Chains A and B, each alone.
Chain A
């Protein structure tokens, strides 16, 4: 199953709608709650990032029999040094992002923790693509 979302930039209230929708679908598929939580948290962190650091973008979530693959693509400012950005505590978040409870520099490290595979491609001035893969039945893999 494929789900597509257009995420608007600067929409600090509605940010998270895509992650919320994917979570609902996964619940209907009766997937283990701990696995759903991993996908939800990683995807939500990435969705928030594309709203607060870029100006929105597109999300494609692919639900396969044994894994979920989420691609979040934006055409924002990009990340100059991904290794530095991954470090817990590193953040360039705006005051508005901090007012909504974000901007501690924890998101990328958290995505790494919850995703089975995390791929980040970014080009300064062009944009960022984050790919999150979570296995649905990790013990069988």
Chain B
């Protein structure tokens, strides 16, 4: 799914990385816990999160995540936005909850990244 399409479906505002809206995303992943994102994400995803700590950008950087949707209408600080711009990471904000935003994208054909390993049997 194209980022422009994600923006439309979620009625989102692009607040960082504006130049790169033509990128294609393969899966979605929704999570407020960066520990979990680091443990489970392996593919080209859009990250939906309600966390607005600058470590969200660092986590995205380590995993080569190109786009983040901030849910529940939360407003990230200028430090987060600056970090995203410097790394060409697209940031959008939407008023929808994590559940609704995920559901809207899923309904339109974006599937979730499946969990590839079981943490408890590790």
The tally of residues in B whose CB lies under 8 Å from a CB in A reads: 24
Binary flags per residue of B29-69, CB closer than 8 Å to A gives 1, else 0? 00011111111000000000001011110110111100000
Residues A8-49 near B (CB distance < 8 A): 12-13, 15-16, 19-20, 23, 33, 37, 40-41, 44-45, 48
**Docked complex Cα distance between A102 and B54 (Å):** 12
Asked if A113 is at the interface (CB within 8 A of a chain B CB), the reply is yes
Binary flags per residue of A58-93, CB closer than 8 Å to B gives 1, else 0? 000000000000000000000000000000110000
**Docked complex Cα distance between A26 and B40 (Å):** 23
How many A-B Cβ pairs are below 8 Å?
79
A88 near B62: Cβ-Cβ < 8 Å: no
B36 near A106: Cβ-Cβ < 8 Å: yes
Residue among B35, B37, B64 with most chain A CB within 10 A: B35
A16 near B55: Cβ-Cβ < 8 Å: yes
Dominant SS among interface residues on chain B:
helix
Chain A interface (Cβ within 8 Å of chain B)?
12-13, 15-16, 19-20, 23, 33, 37, 40-41, 44-45, 48, 88-89, 99-107, 109-110, 112-113
- Between A and B, 23 residue pairs with Cβ closer than 8 Å are A13-B79, A16-B62, A37-B62, A41-B62, A41-B63, A44-B59, A44-B62, A45-B38, A88-B122, A89-B119, A89-B120, A100-B34, A100-B55, A101-B32, A101-B37, A101-B53, A101-B59, A102-B34, A106-B38, A106-B39, A106-B119, A107-B35, A112-B122
